[in-house]
Amino acid sequence: MNTEYNKITATKEALEKLAKASEIVAGLKIPEDIPHGDMPGDKIEIGESHIAKAKTIFPILVKELKEKMSANPYSRAVVAVCGGSGVGKSEIASLLSYMLESAGIGSYTMSGDNYPHRIPMYNDAERLHTFRKCGIKGMVDAGVMNPENAEKIRELQRAEDDANKAHLDTDTWFRSYFEAGSEGLAKYLGTPNETDFEEVDQIMKAFKDGADKLYLKRMGRDEASLWYDEVDLSTKNVLIVEWTHGNSDYMSQVDIPVLLNSTPEETLEHRRSRNRDGKLDSPFTMLVLELEQKKLVDQAHKAKIIISKAGEIISYDEFKKLMGI
């Protein structure tokens, strides 16, 4: 009986704090160093543009949270901050979480990048292997596999240039390799083949079902950097998941998807400035970004909040116009 009473009281208090959140955060000064997501070694650099976007998103997010938290018996909700690689998901998710905490609403930031089946080095290798395997098979199916073309493909692969679209204009047979490879890669990226969406969905459901503590995965960049931490969520009302695939159809427990819009070129520039990976401007990296962008566009109709690169809240129709679809 006391437990149920405490639950009702906590829910009432959370909603009361939520009602005042926008007013409290409006004049909030953001310190240089704030807590961020749980991806080991992740580097975030919060700039004025991130703060401006977070403050633009926050009042709308509060309204969405009021509806979702009111409907949950534990006054909890899951927010996904999604967008292209390097667009600022980590920074903006951290800022939104900090703003909620500052308003007295418990929030935890979780990184979806902890949940691929493979550590980054092996996942990158699997992506490239998938592209090349499917590309070679595409050449066979198109009847253009012969010793001469096979040697040309090997040369391009050794030069890490076999995902370069420029070859479509010079070698007609190359189209079969590129298109089949791209199709195979698209079936890997952002799917259960690459990532354990089921585990992420189960975590979000457990959170919304009132779990006080959960074991959350940590994945670094080498084989010895894989473990689980027990995280105390007993005082948290909001779980913010920052992740490229946060709006994926493979998950059912996200309440409020927030889309940070960008083009592949813009996200590549963000990645370069953060220096997260090698070969940032390789044709294969650009292809991955383009395929991820297409998935984001296909899923955008589900987003509750969309903010443009310029920092403006836009409707889905405005998003389609901006993206030329």
Enumerate the H helices of the chain as residue ranges. Answer: 2-26, 48-71, 89-102, 120-142, 147-158, 174-186, 197-208, 264-274, 283-299, 316-323
pLDDT of 271 strictly over 80: no
Fold of 2-115+196-323: Rossmann fold (3.40.50)
Q: What's the rounded mean pLDDT across residues 177-204? A: 98
In the block, residue with structure tokens 């975590």? 203
CA 66 to CA 172: how far, in whole Å? Answer: 56
CA dihedral 40, 41, 42, 48 (to 10 degrees): 130
pLDDT of 85 strictly over 70: yes
pLDDT tens for each residue of 212-252: 999 999 999 898 899 999 999 999 999 999 999 999 999 99
pLDDT at 131: 98
Q: What's the rounded mean pLDDT across residues 67-77? A: 95
* Full-model pTM: 0.91
CA 279 to CA 57: how far, in whole Å? Answer: 33
pLDDT of 6 strictly over 90: no
pLDDT of 297 strictly over 90: yes
User: Can you spell out the DSSP letters for 78-94?
Assistant: EEEEEESTTSSHHHHHH
Q: What's the rounded mean pLDDT across residues 60-86? A: 94
Domain map of the chain by residue range? 2-115+196-323, 120-186
What is the separation of C-alpha 277 from the centre of its chain, rounded to a whole number of angstroms?
Answer: 16
